[in-house]
Amino acid sequence: MQMPSRIHIFGASGSGTTSLASALAAKHGHRHLDTDDFYWLPTEPPYQQTRAREVRLGLLRSALAQPQSWVLSGSLCGWGDPLIPEFDLVVFLVVPMQVRLARLRAREIERYGHEAIAPGGALHHAHVEFLDWAGRYDVGGSEMRSRVLHEAWLSTLPGAVLRLEGDRSVAEQLTQIEGSIEAGLLTTRCSGPSARAARTSAAERAR
């Protein structure tokens, strides 16, 4: 089974894109990149200031151009569209809202500490706003990171798309990706001359 060389895994916040990408990279020898590392400037606490669109796009383009196979986690709909031709396979994770929010609460406590995000804490307001934003993914419109936006973006992709739905472990998700590839369900769309032609055409449209 030959894992595609250039994979993008995305979904709602808390859907597990980073965990799945990390596991895939460790097993198959890909570099693991995450869009957050390009979208946000390094700050303390993190995720306070974004990079300019052209700057983050240039940094990510350079990272993807390295010769080693890679898997990219996170969302880049809109600002990263010129990079769509780079993807051999896009994996879309769909996870129930309550599962996602529980994961995000646990992650926030681990990252910042319970005291900081509790009522009266320095980051409480930001924490509440973040969970509210994440909770609107399934009902929000295309003006935000939402299911509507992601489904519309998926419909424009020229290459292979694999949709993984439900509350599954990382091991189960990875097995499903490997099984789909081994069964030949993705071969005609993520490899070969037709896919390369599609990527070239999309790249020309993006210029």
| Ranges of each domain in the chain | 6-100+143-202
For 163, the 3-state DSSP assignment is strand
Q: What's the pLDDT score for residue 188?
A: 36
For residue 127, the surrounding DSSP H or E stretch is: helix 124-135
CATH architecture of 6-100+143-202: 3-Layer(aba) Sandwich (3.40)
Burial class for 85, CB neighbours closer than 10 Å (0-12, 13-18, 19+): buried
CA atoms within 13 A on the CB side of 185: 11
Q: What's the pLDDT score for residue 48?
A: 87
Q: What's the pLDDT score for residue 94?
A: 97
Cis omega (within 30 of 0) on the bond before 45?
A: yes
Q: φ and ψ at 7, to 5 degrees? A: -120, 135
The first and second tokens of residue 109, run together, are 């406590």
In the chain the first and final C-alpha atoms are separated, in Å, by 34
Instruction: Please state whether 78 falls in left (phi above 0), alpha (psi between -120 and 50) or beta.
Output: left
Q: What's the pLDDT score for residue 201?
A: 39
Q: What's the pLDDT score for residue 203?
A: 39
This prediction's pTM: 0.85
pLDDT in tens, the chain (207 residues): 789 999 999 999 999 999 999 999 999 999 999 999 999 999 988 888 999 999 999 999 999 999 999 999 999 999 999 999 999 999 999 999 999 999 999 999 999 999 999 999 999 999 999 999 999 999 999 999 999 999 999 999 999 999 999 999 999 999 999 999 999 877 433 333 333 343 343 334 333
Q: What's the pLDDT score for residue 185?
A: 76
